[in-house]
Chains A and B, each alone.
Chain A
Amino acid sequence: MTQTHDTNNSQRTAVGDEPVDASRRKFMGVAAATIGGLTIAPGVILYATAGARPVDQPVSDTVRWGILIDTNQCSEGCDDCVTACNEENGLIGHDRPRTDAQWIRKLTAKDKSTGHVISLPMMCQHCEHPPCVDVCPTGASFRRADGIVLVDKHTCIGCRYCMMACPYKARSFVHETLTDQKAHAPRGKGTVESCTMCVHKVDNGDGTTACVDACSQEGHNAMMFGDLNDPDSAISKRLAQFGGKQIRADLGLNTGVRYQGI
């Protein structure tokens, strides 16, 4: 739960709201930085290399996290990314496919005229202009300055309007009581959730997500995570060279997840 709270505060600071506990946060930030500096000095170097931010810094829009998916490398029937996501975030099915949560799913699309089939992972597209954030009455759905779209589990009232609004069917409602949730992936009955782009890993400076990591580990290399704002990042270079399309680009949402081969 702490993780969610931190990310929320970071968001609100980033968009300009004055945090009520600014002095306390500042103290904690200084304390954390001091302790961090004293105990894990190499971590500072890790932050620098992986593009993560120190915990006392608000999320910044100098980075925009994104994922590039090459559907030509993504084979039908492989769901390593889905398994990894479920494992990482503690998603357990209840043998109720219509109500079980799915943060990422494998989708197959067949061209009606040519018969050409593509297979790809579909999840929250982390839009720059997310319809879910627009419609959320309490502001529980929000977009961090670094482009990650999240749900604040403390202020979600479970109205499901965001699920009606999402063009990608990326969100799930928690239909039952949950136990043994992962500390880094807070979930709760009666609230809406979706892919967090493994925000806990991103903030930790891991430089990857569970799905991208699994895809690489298995040698498929169909997914790539990185900073879309940095022209020198691997993802930006690949996008510059080979291009990448948005799903439902006609909606003008400027998604953070891009696809090749669609």
Chain B
Amino acid sequence: MKPTRFSPLEANSTSYYGLLGLFALFVLIALAAAHHMESEGHYVTGMTNQIVWGTPHIFAVFLIVAASGALNVASIGTVFGVQDYKPLSRLSALLAIALLVGGLSILVLDLGRPDRLIVAMTYYNFKSIFAWNIFLYTGFLVIVAVYLWTMMEGRFNRYSKYTGYTAFIWRLILTTGTGSIFGFLVARQAYDAAIMAPIVVMSFSFGLAVFILVLMAAYKWSNRPLGDVILLRLKNLLGVFIGAVMYFVLAYHLTNLYVTENHGVEEFILLGGNVYTMVFWFGQILLGSLAPLALLYLPQTGKSRTAIVLASILVILGGFAQLYVIIIGGQAYPLNLFPGMEESSSFFDGVVASYTPSIYEFLLGLGGIAIAMVILTFGLAILSFLPESLSDSIMRESPAKSAKAAG
């Protein structure tokens, strides 16, 4: 049995530096956008005293959730012992780190006072889930880095099982923490539900979709063989995850629909005829969930690589749609200060808040993705993250059984 051979990407080509340069350019543009929002003040954005979290937060939460999801592949290999996934563990962990750093960068750059990051690192209120998340996020980076090290350094391979378990449990807590940011908000009817935590925990599909696209792109780019065996396994897993996300979304809305006091916000999202209704039904459900399921499982398209790519892109767009509905839609629905009464004021009480995102917010969000891609592109070229071959013949040899180096 041959052990899996890993090697860095060829990084001497002009196209490699071109790609890296393109991502770096997006990062620079995002920094300029953040600087503009910072120096002018947030009035230049679409965010207001009504919609206090906007487009940057959609991008940030997506990347954080996707980071956890991207680690799934490594967890399945290490924790659940599925051999076929073991050669992919290194890429899975690197992608998780890259996505998390990208997401956190957006959050920090959108703060009213990003210059006070040191304050956030030194003053803590431990009743705040935000304060906990600071530890959960930085802890995740450290734990996954150690996990990677134990996978990549031969002398420490025997510890990779333990580091892998730790990373697996930590990411479950991390996404619980992220979901709880919304679950702990008693003020707003769209949130304030324990199910917000598992919805975010179970949003594995976002990260897996990103992983599949990155894997296919990296192998195409480096002309390395990527066989159907591993790709079809990943495809089936993506289908299961899409179903799981849909189940939690269904449970969330059914629970809300049963409770009379939540009828207003449910009607607003599901039947309101507004932008959130459109994004929910067409973006999240139709294009983001049902269409990829069809692409992945219909006999006509089920084994097509184009269909897998398209399905992954749709899952990512559906993820953004889902977070748009939760984050923006949840804030747009007015607070209920006097149940049963119509409210009005100069401060937009009782009216649906409008939100028009600014270009700066989009650029900052794209910059977060670009930061993740810079880390990934750079990482793949300097260290041995990618197996030299994932061809069907190699995979059928159960390569990882003999490839302890894979973790």
A-side residues, CB < 8 A to B, are 94, 96-102, 105-113, 122, 131, 133-140, 154-161, 163-169, 171-177, 189-192, 247-248, 251, 262
Contacts and interface: CB of A to CB of B under 8 A. Distances in A.
A67 B173 CA distance: 42
B35 interface: no
B52 A163 contact: yes
A149 to B, nearest CB: 14
Interface stretch (B111-119, B314-322, B358-366): B111-119
Interface stretch (B77-85, B185-193, B282-290, B300-308): B185-193
B41 A189 contact: yes
A100 B49 CA distance: 8
Given A159-B130, A262-B338, A164 B41 contact: no
Interface in B4-59: 38, 40-43, 48-50, 52-53
B40 A190 contact: no
A153 to B, nearest CB: 10
Interface stretch (B162-170, B291-299, B346-354, B395-403): B346-354
A190 B112 contact: yes
Contacts of B124: 137-139
A158 B115 CA distance: 10
Given A138-B120, A157-B116, A190 B111 contact: yes
B335 interface: yes
Contact of B131 (A137, A155, A190): A137
Contacts of B116: 155-158
* Interchain residue pairs A-B with the least CB separation, the first 3: A158-B112, A190-B112, A137-B130
Nearest to B118: A157
A189 B38 CA distance: 9
Contacts of B111: 157-159, 190
B128 A110 contact: no
Contacts of B42: 99, 173, 175-176, 190
Query: Most B CB atoms within 10 A — which of A102, A108, A164?
Result: A164
Contact of B348 (A98, A109, A155, A173): A98
A131 B117 CA distance: 23
Contact of B129 (A94, A135, A172, A176): A135
Contact of A176 (B40, B131, B185): B40
Contacts of B155: none
B340 A112 contact: yes
A105 B346 contact: yes
The CB with the most chain A CB atoms within 10 A, among B181, B188, B347, is that of: B347
B123 A138 contact: yes
B341 A110 contact: yes
Given A190-B41, A247-B338, A135 B130 contact: yes
A164 B188 contact: yes
Given A173-B52, A191-B113, A107 B185 contact: no
Given A190-B112, A247-B337, A160 B53 contact: yes
B260 interface: no
A107 B53 contact: no
B344 A107 contact: yes
B107 to A, nearest CB: 8
Nearest to B188: A164
A233 B329 CA distance: 45
A211 to B, nearest CB: 15
Contact of B125 (A101, A112, A131, A136): A136
Contact of B127 (A102, A113, A134, A247): A134
B41 A161 contact: no
A137 B177 CA distance: 13
Nearest to A190: B112
11 contacts: A100-B49, A112-B341, A133-B127, A136-B130, A157-B111, A157-B113, A163-B49, A168-B337, A176-B41, A190-B113, A251-B186
A165 B330 CA distance: 12
Given A163-B49, A174-B112, A190-B38, A136 B348 contact: no
A107 B49 contact: no
A110 B342 contact: yes
A99 B43 contact: yes
Given A99-B42, A136-B125, 12 more contacts: A107-B347, A110-B343, A122-B347, A135-B127, A136-B128, A138-B123, A138-B125, A157-B113, A158-B111, A160-B53, A165-B187, A177-B40
A107 B112 contact: no
B149 interface: no
A105 B340 contact: no
Given A164-B185, A173-B49, A173-B112, A157 B342 contact: no
Given A131-B186, A157-B111, A189-B112, A109 B128 contact: no
B134 interface: yes
Contacts of B337: 107, 109, 122, 167-169, 247-248
A26 to B, nearest CB: 25
